[in-house]
């Protein structure tokens, strides 16, 4: 009996990961570029990166690759790796996800989304401005996937109600959907709560400075940059709006939709209170840190997340475990944890230093060209994978690079965080959701390339100037 190996397109993408893994080990270790453990760690980066881009298996499966690879090759102590899959930051992510589920279950998410759009104007530019503001602001405190899933169905319903049925060819639909997916992406770096990539960054920052990094310190440094990136996004989107284009009835549509909600229910009030209370306590951490040193934001959000199972609204429990099983974005949580584990592999094996030494061969002296290289690395990685994976790979490399060049790592680290939150081109991550709803991939690519290049230049320039003239950008307290 002849056995035939499956060679379909899907299987080809599956085999590409382990083949690239083996090739990297052969090229690096076989040519004495690095040690065997470092070569395996770098091969793991390539394998996971390919599978995260090509999706031959679910992203959560890819996230667990460091465990069997470490078991086979004994790269680092097992407990160092396993601990990343339920780290303090994963606890925070789980708690915030539980609270977010109550918004979805009580429809508070739709009430707030539509309510924020009720005063929207009828011109297309007004529409684009409000959608971009709403998605950017909401993604500062909610995961960007959640924001996109809240806003896109509302936007599509509005567009079809107003007669924009051919979404692929509609300039209005393209501009509005781009505003949502781009806004949800850039808003993420406005606070640590905006995405799992930020939580990766927080863990590295705390290791770097040796103590807890307060959330308000994050906001001070990143919101000014977010405003500049927002303005650049808005200018590009305005260019897509045909002159004088109006969507008649847009404001009326939202008012009618909001009126259907009626009065806020008891459940909605509880859901809102849980999130507001957890957020306020997280940002007010400096006020009580001395008396409650163990009550970090991660555990604040987890405590309020646990409360969702013991509080009741008119229809019963706010959440049941079945709700959590079905509603939690387990794949995203595991992907985040896998990114941390990958980062642990490349830092503890000193594989990050191998990449950093390669970068030091470039003519870098810590000036604008170094900022540009940092932004390019972060932007490239987040375009081809996810911002969590990009942060997990790029941050250790940047820290090693600055160590090699004997530079203050802080400004380069901050620019990296911004860069991994600014992806516009390929239909992956949240942009894939937009494409599934009818966003034109041609428009995404064409406009995304322009915006990505301009954002990279803007972030590099702002980072360089901030490093020179803004003391908060070169120190972390």
The pLDDT of residue 261: 83
**pTM > 0.85:** no
Per-residue pLDDT of the chain (477 residues; tens, 9 = 90+): 454 545 566 677 899 999 999 999 999 887 777 899 999 998 998 898 788 767 788 878 888 999 999 999 999 999 989 988 887 767 877 887 888 888 878 888 777 767 766 766 667 888 899 889 989 998 887 777 667 767 776 777 677 766 677 777 788 888 999 999 999 889 888 888 777 778 788 888 888 888 878 878 888 888 899 999 999 999 999 988 877 666 656 667 777 878 888 888 899 899 889 988 887 887 787 788 889 888 887 888 899 999 999 998 877 889 999 999 888 878 767 876 787 788 788 778 888 777 767 776 778 788 898 899 889 888 877 775 567 777 877 888 888 888 888 899 999 999 999 998 888 886 666 776 677 677 877 888 888 889 999 999 999 999 999 999 998 888 876
Compute the distance between CA of residue 199 and CA of residue 70 in angstroms, rounded to an integer: 24
Compute the distance between CA of residue 120 and CA of residue 143 in angstroms, rounded to an integer: 24
Compute the distance between CA of residue 357 and CA of residue 252 in angstroms, rounded to an integer: 59
Q: How far is CA 475 from CA 109, 195, 412, in A?
A: 37, 23, 11
The pLDDT of residue 3: 47
Q: Which two tokens stand for residue 355?
A: 């990449």
The pLDDT of residue 264: 87
């Amino acid at each position: 009996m002849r056995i035939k190996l499956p060679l379909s397109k899907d299987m080809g993408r599956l085999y590409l990961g382990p083949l690239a893994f083996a090739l990297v080990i052969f090229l690096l270790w076989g040519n004495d570029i690095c040690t065997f453990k470092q070569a395996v760690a770098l091969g793991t980066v390539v394998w996971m990166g390919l599978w995260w881009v090509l999706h031959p298996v679910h992203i959560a499966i890819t996230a667990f690759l460091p465990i069997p690879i470490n078991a086979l090759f004994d790269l680092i102590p097992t407990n160092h790796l396993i601990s990343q899959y339920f780290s303090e930051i994963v606890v925070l992510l789980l708690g915030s996800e539980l609270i977010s589920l109550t918004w979805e279950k009580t429809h508070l998410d739709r009430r707030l989304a539509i309510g924020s759009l009720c005063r929207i104007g009828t011109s297309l530019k007004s529409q684009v401005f409000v959608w971009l503001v709403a998605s950017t602001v909401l993604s500062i405190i909610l995961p960007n996937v959640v924001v996109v899933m809240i806003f896109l169905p509302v936007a599509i319903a509005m567009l079809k109600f107003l007669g924009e049925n051919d979404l692929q060819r509609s300039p209005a639909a393209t501009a509005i959907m781009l505003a949502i997916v781009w806004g949800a992406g850039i808003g993420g770096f406005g606070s640590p709560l905006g995405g799992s990539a930020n939580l990766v960054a927080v863990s590295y920052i705390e290791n770097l400075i040796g103590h807890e990094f307060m959330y308000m310190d994050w906001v001070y440094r990143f919101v000014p940059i977010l405003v500049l990136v927002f303005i650049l996004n808005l200018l590009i989107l305005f260019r897509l709006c045909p002159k004088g284009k109006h969507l008649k009835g847009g404001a009326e549509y939202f008012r009618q939709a909001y009126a259907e909600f009626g009065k806020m229910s008891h459940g909605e009030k509880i859901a809102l209170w849980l999130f507001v209370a957890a957020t306020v306590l997280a940002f007010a951490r400096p006020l009580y840190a001395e008396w409650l040193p163990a009550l970090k934001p991660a555990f604040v959000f987890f405590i309020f997340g646990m409360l969702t199972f013991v509080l009741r609204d008119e229809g019963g429990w706010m959440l049941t475990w079945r709700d959590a099983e079905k509603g939690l974005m387990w794949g995203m949580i595991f992907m985040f944890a896998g990114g941390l584990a990958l980062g642990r592999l490349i830092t503890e094996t000193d594989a990050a230093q191998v990449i950093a030494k390669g970068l030091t061969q470039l003519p870098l002296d810590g000036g604008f060209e170094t900022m540009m290289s940092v932004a390019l690395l972060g932007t490239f990685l987040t375009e081809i994978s996810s911002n969590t994976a990009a942060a997990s790979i790029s941050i250790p490399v940047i820290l090693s690079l600055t160590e090699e060049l004997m530079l203050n790592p802080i400004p380069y680290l901050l620019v990296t965080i911004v860069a991994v939150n600014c992806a516009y081109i390929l239909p992956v991550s949240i942009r894939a959701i937009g494409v599934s709803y009818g966003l034109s991939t041609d428009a995404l690519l064409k406009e995304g390339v322009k915006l990505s290049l301009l954002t990279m230049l803007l972030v590099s320039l702002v980072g360089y100037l901030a490093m020179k003239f803004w003391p908060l950008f070169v120190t972390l307290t």
